Amino acid sequence: MKTTVAIVDDEEHLREAVAEYLDLQGFEVFSFRNAQAFREDSVGKAIDVAILDIAMPGEDGLSLARFIRKSGSTGIIMATAAGRPIDRIVGLEIGADDYLVKPYELRELLARIKSVLRRVKAAPGGAAATPAAVAPEGRHLKFGALTLDLDARRLVDTDGAAIDLTAMEFDLLQALATRPNRVLSRGQLQEFAHGRSAEESDRSIDIRVTRLRKKIEPDPEHPRFIKTVRGEGYVFVPGGA
């Protein structure tokens, strides 16, 4: 079966150009003029990747991304206007897998689609973003023998003893732990943890991951919680599989 891609954008010429290009690349493409059309006409269609324009009339792409993320494991690429970094951050926060700045090159779009497909397939169980488990008494994320207290910004063991983390290490762990079973690139982790974009070649994230593993993994050389996905980034597995 062909890999399916949906493009939701109010610019007709762009939808047509994307659909024609991706069809030539071997994809099955569904084209929708707005979020309402997607909601009505995508029922029963298995969509692997959705490309969503953020600034559409009516329901915007961010709202539609929330709907898609709750509905399944479809990969999501947000298309945003240049100079709107907040759109990228919000889009990634609600579960988008990647973003593009409009106008974008079709070859770049193709590369992003392939990258998102690899991440979705690489996630444990083939799952995309899933919500973290938060205890009713507060925002506490548990993994292994440790508990991450998001409000107090503390990591403690079963005895209540605090694990010493720097502010940047805590931010990185929070970014990972609140997005379990989702493969995150280095650039995404920079966005989530530190609020800034970074080149995929930036290895500062690798250094912080190594430090984190020494503090939270029973065996840092064979990590259970923060796993490396070669060529893509990292994934947090709360069950320690």
Q: Residue 73: its pLDDT value, please?
A: 78
Q: Residue 153: its pLDDT value, please?
A: 87
Higher per-residue pLDDT: 187 or 53: 53
Q: Whole-angstrom Cα distance, residue 224 to residue 216?
A: 9
Contact 237, 181 (CB under 8 A): yes
pTM exceeding the 0.85 threshold for the entire prediction: no
Higher per-residue pLDDT: 133 or 8: 8
Q: Residue 132: its pLDDT value, please?
A: 40
pLDDT band per the 50, 70, 90 thresholds, residue 127: very low
Greatest mean pLDDT among 10-24, 60-74, 79-93, 120-134: 10-24
Q: Whole-angstrom Cα distance, residue 30 to residue 3?
A: 11
Lowest mean pLDDT among 29-33, 135-139, 163-167: 135-139
Q: Residue 134: its pLDDT value, please?
A: 37
DSSP code at position 184: B
All domains of the chain in start order, with CATH? 4-121 (3.40.50.2300), 140-236 (1.10.10.10)
* Short-list 62, 74, 71, CA closest to 4: 74
Q: Residue 72: its pLDDT value, please?
A: 74
Q: Answer positive or negative: Cα dihedral of 130, 131, 134, 136.
A: negative
Q: Residue 85: its pLDDT value, please?
A: 66
Q: Whole-angstrom Cα distance, residue 17 to residue 109?
A: 12
Q: How many other CB atoms are there within 10 angstroms of residue 121's CB atom?
A: 12
Q: Residue 116: its pLDDT value, please?
A: 85
Q: How far is CA 222 from the centre of its chain?
A: 24
* Interval 178-204: pLDDT, tens: 888 888 888 888 888 866 655 544 677
Q: Residue 94: its pLDDT value, please?
A: 74
Residue 222 has pLDDT above 80, yes or no: yes
Alpha helices in 99-216 (DSSP H): 106-122, 167-177, 186-194, 204-216
Residue with tokens 């392939």: 114
Q: Whole-angstrom Cα distance, residue 88 to residue 100?
A: 9
* Short-list 11, 8, 234, 195, CA closest to 92: 195
Residue 146 has pLDDT above 90, yes or no: yes
Q: Residue 122: its pLDDT value, please?
A: 64
| Segment (H or E) for 70 | helix 61-71
pLDDT, average across residues 144-168: 89
Q: Residue 129: its pLDDT value, please?
A: 42
Residue type at 62 in one-letter notation:
L
Laid out side by side, the sheet with 4-8 consists of 28-32, 4-8, 49-53, 75-81, 98-102
DSSP code at position 137: T
Q: Whole-angstrom Cα distance, residue 35 to residue 213?
A: 41
Q: Residue 200: its pLDDT value, please?
A: 47
Q: Angle at the Cα of 91 (from 149 to 125), degrees rounded to 5?
A: 70
pLDDT band per the 50, 70, 90 thresholds, residue 38: very high
